Chains A and B, each alone.
Chain A
Amino acid sequence: MKRRNFLTLSAGAAAGAALAACGNEGPGGSESGGGGSASYWSLSGEPGEPYRKAAIDRFNKANPDSKITPTFFQNDAYKQKIKTALGANQAPTLIWGWGGGGLKSYVEAGQVEDLTGLFGDAALKGKLLPGSFGAATVNGKIYAMPVETVQPIVLYYNKKIFDQVGVSAPQTYGDILDLIPKFNAKGIAPFSLAGQSRWTNMMWLEFMLDRNAGSEVFDNVFAGKPGSWSDPAVLDMLTKVQDLVKMNAFQKGFASTAADTNADQALLYTGKAAMMVHGSWSYGIQKAQGGKFVPDGGLGWMNFPPIDGGKGDPSNTVGNPGQYLSISSKATAADKETAKKFFSTTLVDEEEKAGWVKSGGVPVLANSDSLYTGDDAQFQKDMSAIAAGAKTFAQSWDQALSPTAAEVLLDNIAKLFQLQVSPQQWVDNMNGVIGK
């Protein structure tokens, strides 16, 4: 009882201290003193890290008086780290990200520099794929530079399994429905899906909605129009997804398969599953881990097929139109200059382009087609064609929406696949967070 008195006392004093701590932080970013040095945070690991490092090394070599210092973090760690750092005004000069809703929240918090002026230079802007700027633009202004690679999501299939069962690749969604019982009859999972990771399930919804109803529904959601999910095509699409779950279209235990361990991809290359919807980066993983599977031509891929009677343009695709680098608005003027120089020189040079092609990806830099000559040429050409030929290249929903809405979306998607919510409940729940 007496304890309580003591508590209130110290509470008052310390709360003041905590507030003060949150309020006035010095400009963060570089601990280094000298002008023209920039810090850079990004993701660690293959396939990206070596090429990120190489770009910085090139820049530092070419500009001896300025220096960029990189630090690499694992994916989840990075997300937490960057958020904490931004909140404490300790962000690095160069902020790596996924564009879209996350970038928008940085912009609203006044954390990132307006780069519209920099890209006013048509020669610089022209070196990048035009479609990649959408996710870098907030309220008509550009706040990030598209970098690295374009990653559409595609339908992969195991050709050997298709031959073994004696069926051919699906041309329409109807074909897919026909294939499901055939694979199930042979004890092969029709689709591999890492259901625990949630964004993997989301890829299905993105395609199902687009093929069913076209790109307008999600555009409306993105624009914050109330009730946008109430389109009857959404209900229809959600019902189709739950039908897939009910007819065992996904492997046993898909709800506990996580994408982190690549177990979903292993199901495909070990022949335990026949098909998989996944990002273009999965190609590199299957090639690295699947032994002879990819080199022997076991892997097939295609854009997601049209749904019979659907309104969507079959050329549409979804995925990551690029990765994005922003400049912290809290950085010193000299650091910002260094960062901009990095953007306009090193990140658009030929070595950068060649590097990302070598990584097996499709660079966001334009005119890369002539570089596709290696083992992966066919895949890269096809991805490039899908990305360039898409009438709409939609950004993944969870990246496009605000983090708050994205979390509700992922939560409801997981429950939809668990049959924990009905399509109608899903629509109601999602309408509730439009514009949030």
Chain B
Amino acid sequence: MTPTPAGTRAGQVPEPAAAGTRASRKFAERNWVGGSFAWLWLIVVMVPLYWLVITSFKTQANYFVTNPLKPPSEFTFENYQLVIESDFVRYFMNSVVVTVGAVLPATLISFMAAYAVVRGAGNRFLQGVNGIFLMGLAIPLQAVVIPVYLIIIKMELYNTLQAIILPSIAFAIPLSVLVLANFIRDVPKELFESMRMDGATEWGTMWRLAFPLTRPALVTVVIYNAVGIWNGYLLPLILTQSPEKATIPLALASFQTQFGVNVPAVAASVTLTTVPIVLLYAIGRRQLVSGLTAGFSK
């Protein structure tokens, strides 16, 4: 029951403004339930975040002594200093390389695979492959980490960023294919037909028809995978060794010393890691939202 835009041409850019007016007309009445819950949820979301930020300005010594919800009487920057001095910038860059290096190829090959799986509904091999992807959804990383480690050592990639990137790509595939395939399935058959009539190849159809139409799902997949890989702890821990190859989650763990967690330092590094991405999101949100909104309704 997917609406078909009349005469859609793939690759057209949606106009957010138009989409906006349409949306606001849609909900002419107030959504009281949603509205009050939204504000309640804001509080629920903000309390822990607020706690993280104020704790990052407390010293470890007065962390337990002060009221957990009150800002410290004297702000200290020693936690931030500690975090930055422990090579934070390098960890940050490593995390960026790993995340970008894994998410882009993972999304690309998953998209191709999802397209093939949907288009090749009658092909046993393709459906078999799809079944294998489905199976992958439930593979717990902790369970397979030892074999993965052995493979990486065999490939002589131990202690490199590729060692994190390659398995991360592999483990992003099942979910990405699932989400993307479900979305591509919604593309009306008629559009594929008309592409075929126009003499387009499968590759051409994939790029010019399916890719733009799948943009909302692609955005979802990119966010989901990026967040997962950005926060990944087990793979970097097992597959790298030297501090030059460490990523942010490993750095976070280094504030958990032999005899306890330095909570304010953890709070500071979480804050430091999160702020740039939140800013990026706040700036790029319009892009993102229009990506999510852009579907068939152009």
Binding site for B on A (CB under 8 A): 2-3, 6-7, 18, 21-22, 25, 31, 43-49, 71, 74-77, 80-81, 84, 87-88, 90, 259-263, 266, 269-270, 281-282, 284-285, 288-291
Contact = CB atoms under 8 A, between A and B. Distances in A.
Given A3-B127, A262-B260, A288-B61, A44 B254 contact: yes
Given A18-B147, A80-B237, A285-B260, A291 B65 contact: yes
B165 interface: no
B147 A45 contact: no
Contacts of B64: 262-263, 266, 269-270, 289
A235 B250 CA distance: 44
Give 9 closest A-B pairs by Cβ, nearest first: A45-B257, A266-B64, A3-B131, A262-B260, A6-B128, A21-B150, A74-B253, A3-B128, A43-B258
Contacts of A21: 147, 150-151, 154
Contacts of A76: 256
Contacts of B125: 6
A260 B254 contact: no
Contact of A22 (B61, B150, B242, B254): B150
A119 to B, nearest CB: 26
A74 B132 CA distance: 36
A7 B132 contact: yes
B114 interface: no
Contacts of B60: 288-289
27 contacts: A2-B127, A2-B128, A3-B127, A18-B147, A18-B150, A21-B147, A21-B151, A25-B153, A43-B258, A44-B258, A46-B258, A71-B241, A71-B242, A71-B243, A74-B253, A74-B257, A75-B258, A77-B253, A84-B149, A88-B146, A88-B149, A261-B260, A266-B64, A285-B259, A285-B260, A288-B61, A291-B65
Contacts of A269: 64
B173 interface: no
Interface in B51-107: 60-65
Given A46-B258, A260-B261, A289-B63, 18 more contacts: A2-B128, A3-B128, A6-B128, A7-B128, A18-B150, A21-B147, A21-B154, A44-B254, A48-B258, A71-B242, A77-B237, A80-B238, A88-B150, A90-B158, A261-B260, A270-B64, A288-B60, A291-B65
Nearest to B151: A21
The interface residues of chain B, by DSSP majority, are classed as: helix
Interface in B119-135: 124-125, 127-128, 131-132
B141 to A, nearest CB: 12
B62 A291 contact: yes
A47 B256 CA distance: 12
A88 B127 CA distance: 36
Given A2-B127, A74-B253, A262 B259 contact: yes
B263 interface: yes
A425 B125 CA distance: 54
Contacts of A18: 147, 150
Contacts of A22: 150
B261 A289 contact: no
A281 B124 CA distance: 63
A281 B259 contact: yes
Nearest to B129: A6
Contacts of B63: 289
A46 B158 CA distance: 28
Nearest to B131: A3
Interface range on chain B (Cβ under 8 Å from partner): 35 or more
B145 interface: yes
Contacts of A282: 259
Contacts of B62: 291
Interface string B259-282: 111010000000000000000000
B61 to A, nearest CB: 5
B254 A84 contact: no
Interface string B15-32: 000000000000000000
Contacts of B147: 18, 21
A266 B254 CA distance: 21
Contacts of B263: 261
Contacts of B242: 71
A7 B60 CA distance: 54
Contacts of A25: 150, 153
A47 B159 CA distance: 27
A44 B131 CA distance: 44
B146 A45 contact: no
A259 B124 contact: no
A2 B61 contact: no
A110 to B, nearest CB: 19
B238 A84 contact: yes
A380 B52 CA distance: 37
A423 B250 CA distance: 41
A433 B132 CA distance: 39
Contact of B65 (A47, A270, A285): A270
A332 to B, nearest CB: 18
Contact of B237 (A7, A81, A90, A261): A81
A399 B283 CA distance: 53
A3 B154 CA distance: 30
Contacts of A291: 61-62, 65
Given A260-B261, A288-B61, A289-B64, A74 B153 contact: no
B48 to A, nearest CB: 15
Contacts of B243: 71
Nearest to B241: A71
Contacts of B257: 44-46, 74-75
Nearest to A22: B150
A205 to B, nearest CB: 21
A266 B68 CA distance: 13
Nearest to A90: B153
Contacts of A290: 61
A74 B256 contact: yes
A284 B260 CA distance: 12
Contacts of A44: 254, 257-258
